[in-house]
Structure 1
Amino acid sequence: MTNPYDSVPNPMAPQGQPHPQPAHPQRYAPQPGPQAQTQPQPGSPHEQWRWQQPTSAAAPVGSAPASHHELYPQPERDEGRRPRRRAGAVVAMLAAACLVGGAAGFGAGALVMGQQQPQTQSAPPSSDATGETVSDPQTIADVAAAAGPSVVTVQAVSSNGSGEGSGVAVAAGGYIVTNNHVVTLDGQTADARITVETNDGRLLEAEIVGTDPIVDLAVIKVDAELPVVTFASSDDVRVGDTAIAIGAPLGLSNSVTDGIVSAVDRGLRIASSAAPEGSDQSQQEPFGFWQENGAQGAQEEISIPVVQTDASINPGNSGGALLNASGQLVGVNVAIASMGQGSSTSGSIGIGFAIESSLVQRVVQEIIDTGEASHGLLGATVSDVTDASVGTVGAQVRELSDGGAAASAGLQAGDVITEIDGQRVTGAVDATAQVRSHPAGAEVTVTYLRGGEESEAQVTLGAL
């Protein structure tokens, strides 16, 4: 049964041709303490691959008013430059790689070393402490020394269990971004007590400013100034750039790993980490995360745009930083792929994912300004193209919502969406992830095929 609101049909359902099965994404939960027993939970029954990181249902993205806690601005895009095309959608279920030793997923954080010239970004007006940018990238040690102090270890404790992940200081005033599944213990609780361990060994109490389960992000705040990381533009991240992950894998704070950017603009579907609205969790289904006490979380799914990397990411890295060669944030680590349920391989297999920095920056700023973030809604049910006669991959429109954004723009059932704002759409998950990355009310250009002819439509997205 499909959801008329930008839903993605079950990829395992027959659609004319067998659907390829990608590696199983997994979120990593925290390593258990001396008295705890970690117990793996089953992944989605419809997928062979597990992602070790929770996912949440896509939501509309909306812009928020400016604040004195303003994040570093995105570098301006060269107007003469063709937007980067998406590498492809990942339709498999992900396992959260965020939490270590507890109920939540591990926060997996990878840093990407870009090969382009470093970009200069101004600090927020009220910032007293800002992270350094490596002016002449030479070694991973340079990046680790410059950006490491901006990365923290995040610990969450509740009556349902405990977990550990990572976080990154993103704005003056003690604001830190992490994964939603870290602070909700993979969706088990909405009232966990949060503690932050800084790079220099301080333990600080933290409060939750706001969460966004739609893209698995959360903002927390401590009463201290921390060095603030700088943001890289997602448009400047290239396949082959060096990637560096900083976080707390298996509870080992301040750990650094490196690799390359394996792919950009992936559409990734993972399990939702939305916290329960009430105290009764008896109807929740297992997430497929490592959980300390066998507790269960919600089994919904979300689609997000990610950067793929082979930098080693393990339980406890969730919410950590993915940096480039200039020490700039290119993503927040969110999930890894594993070899599947029952596999002896439960750690990094060289396929990790980080939420794109441009999306992170927008969502964080909106949460700081208003307490929540918005996400775009297309108002259409889409599916992967399985008919070779169409001649291209894309997202085929199946149904339209009356009065929705797609219908208002003139799209029709049967149209095949191939690009959104110049970025290639390879399938239903990819289309949903791109729509969710925009705020509610954003105007996007949708390129589509109808009867073999290519056309464009200006679509004003609704609000999820």
Structure 2
Amino acid sequence: MTLWSPKGTTSAASGPTTLTVNDTSSVNQTTAVAAKVVPSVVTISAESGQSAGTGSGVILTADGYVVTNTHVVTLDGATADATLKVTTSDGHIYDATVVGTDPTYDLAVIKLTGASGLTPITFGDSSKLNVGDQTIAVGAPLGLSNTVTNGIVSALNRSIEIASSAPSSSGSSGGDTQQGQQSPFQFDFGQGQTQTSTTSTIKISVIQTDAAINPGNSGGALVDSSGQLIGINVAIAGTGSSTSGTQSGNIGVGFSIPSDIVKRITDELIQNGKATHGLLGASVQDSANVTGATISGAYVADVTSGGPAAAAGLQKGDIITEFNGQPVTGAVDLTAEVRALAAGAKASLTYVRDGASHTVDVTLGSLS
């Protein structure tokens, strides 16, 4: 039976509509967490013309606001008006409409029509995570609803660059730029189409986990040992050839958008239909690619006159090593951290100039 194709799930195996527990006298921690979280996770089907795909979502409110990825509701950027159907863990099916998308961080909020009495997820604090903490992923990989996998936090302060899922590849232009960068990985967006080249990319801060995440898990929950949301699953690293046409699967390297970022962006999407993002006003590149550089970081190649970076005193040739308490090892790190904050946010920034380290405060501009 074919479970996926280059354009998404074409024939899905039937599965349980609720979490199955056969022996209540022998329930482990993962079972208990899954029982708490599964009712808060939904399966999303998106269709537009001959294209279709499945993904996951997480319930935010009892009346049907749900967070997922932009690439789920746009079919990897192919359409801005896909028809959405949402199935809850107990088998109820709802129509849904898009409240707002945020292609810059690949998040979206949809609203279920006529929903009430749903079970919202409980948010955790992703800033307090440790490498090695238990993680549990809940979603619909390959259309298999109510699937539960577990693992650990494999890495924190990770940043990745992936293809934009904005329709017409509008992406995140009109802001800070990054020179000479190419993502070392191929990322599968979960709709069954592996995107390996694009004229528009986004840079996002993520939690890395080895909990099994596969196409269709996109938009689903990554929770901690208490069942609190710590991330929204967004991408996986793949080993397949960019020209093979085969679909990437789990290799133990999955990525989730931290819940603290998710909370800020979804609140803005629900309130305003769009989210804001910070702008530094600088062109940067990896210092490792700069002749003579002796420290890793984001090398400032140019500073926009009158912009936030210039106001903070940054100059061409500075190497940014830390942003708002997070280490910066290259241009992707810096861009991801800047975009994670709202327009107008204040942050601290550490840079090295002529061998001396300096820390300054910066007030971010607004990404257009």
TM class, shorter-length: 0.7 to 0.9
1:289-347 per-residue CA deviation (whole Å, 9 max, x = no partner) reads 68779999964100001000011111111000000001000100000011131397831
Cα deviation, residue 216, structure 1: 0.4
Residue 166 of structure 2 is aligned with which of 261, 267, 274? Answer: 274
**In the alignment, structure 1 residue 385 sits paired with structure 2 residue 287:** yes
Residue 224 of structure 1 is aligned with which of 110, 115, 118? Answer: 115
Kept in 2: contact 1:313–1:352 (CA 8 A): yes
Alignment match, 2:18: none
Residue 238 of structure 1 is aligned with which of 104, 127, 130? Answer: 130
Alignment match, 1:340: 240
Kept in 1: contact 2:279–2:339 (CA 8 A): yes
| 1:411–1:305 distance in 2 versus 1, CA, 3 Å | same
**In the alignment, structure 1 residue 456 sits paired with structure 2 residue 346:** no
Amino acid at match of 2:115: A
Residue 363 of structure 1 is aligned with which of 252, 265, 290? Answer: 265
Alignment match, 1:180: 70
| 1:304–1:204 distance in 2 versus 1, CA, 3 Å | same
TM-score by length of 1: 0.67
More helix by share: 2
* In 2: Cα distance, 1:188 partner to 1:298 partner: 13
Amino acid at match of 1:429: V
Kept in 1: contact 2:218–2:235 (CA 8 A): yes
TM-score by length of 2: 0.84
Alignment match, 1:144: 34
Kept in 1: contact 2:344–2:366 (CA 8 A): yes
Residue 202 of structure 1 is aligned with which of 75, 92, 108? Answer: 92
1:126-148 per-residue CA deviation (whole Å, 9 max, x = no partner) reads xxxxxxxxxxx951000000011
Alignment match, 2:61: 171
* In 1: Cα distance, 2:31 partner to 2:195 partner: 39
Kept in 2: contact 1:160–1:189 (CA 8 A): no
* In 2: Cα distance, 1:312 partner to 1:295 partner: 20
Cα deviation, residue 392, structure 1: 2.4
Residue 265 of structure 1 is aligned with which of 153, 157, 171? Answer: 157
* In 2: Cα distance, 1:176 partner to 1:422 partner: 31
Alignment match, 2:20: none
1:358-406 per-residue CA deviation (whole Å, 9 max, x = no partner) reads 1100000000011100000111011111258644211110001111110
Residue 309 of structure 2 is aligned with which of 406, 411, 422? Answer: 406
Amino acid at match of 2:360: A
Greater relative contact order (CA < 8 Å, ≥ 6 in sequence): 1
Kept in 1: contact 2:163–2:196 (CA 8 A): no
**In the alignment, structure 1 residue 421 sits paired with structure 2 residue 324:** yes
**In the alignment, structure 1 residue 153 sits paired with structure 2 residue 43:** yes
Kept in 2: contact 1:311–1:352 (CA 8 A): yes
Alignment match, 1:191: 81
Alignment match, 1:437: 340
| 1:403–1:39 distance in 2 versus 1, CA, 3 Å | same
| 1:414–1:147 distance in 2 versus 1, CA, 3 Å | same
| 1:429–1:297 distance in 2 versus 1, CA, 3 Å | closer
* In 2: Cα distance, 1:322 partner to 1:100 partner: 22
| 1:190–1:444 distance in 2 versus 1, CA, 3 Å | same
Unaligned runs of 5+ in 1: 1-29, 33-37, 41-98, 103-136, 279-286
* In 2: Cα distance, 1:258 partner to 1:296 partner: 28
* In 1: Cα distance, 2:52 partner to 2:205 partner: 28
| 1:290–1:355 distance in 2 versus 1, CA, 3 Å | closer
Number of residue pairs aligned between Structure 1 and Structure 2 = 330
1:31-74 per-residue CA deviation (whole Å, 9 max, x = no partner) reads 54xxxxx238xxxxxxxxxxxxxxxxxxxxxxxxxxxxxxxxxx
Unaligned runs of 5+ in 2: 12-26, 171-186
Alignment match, 2:206: 306
Cα deviation, residue 100, structure 1: 3.8
Residue 224 of structure 1 aligns to a residue whose secondary structure is: coil
| 1:310–1:276 distance in 2 versus 1, CA, 3 Å | same
1:184-231 per-residue CA deviation (whole Å, 9 max, x = no partner) reads 000000011111000000010011100000000000011213101111
Kept in 1: contact 2:44–2:55 (CA 8 A): yes
| 1:290–1:444 distance in 2 versus 1, CA, 3 Å | closer
| 1:442–1:217 distance in 2 versus 1, CA, 3 Å | same
Amino acid at match of 1:379: G
* In 1: Cα distance, 2:222 partner to 2:195 partner: 30
Kept in 1: contact 2:188–2:237 (CA 8 A): no
Alignment match, 2:148: 256
* In 2: Cα distance, 1:398 partner to 1:150 partner: 45
Residue 167 of structure 2 aligns to a residue whose secondary structure is: coil
* In 1: Cα distance, 2:128 partner to 2:316 partner: 35
More strand by share: 2
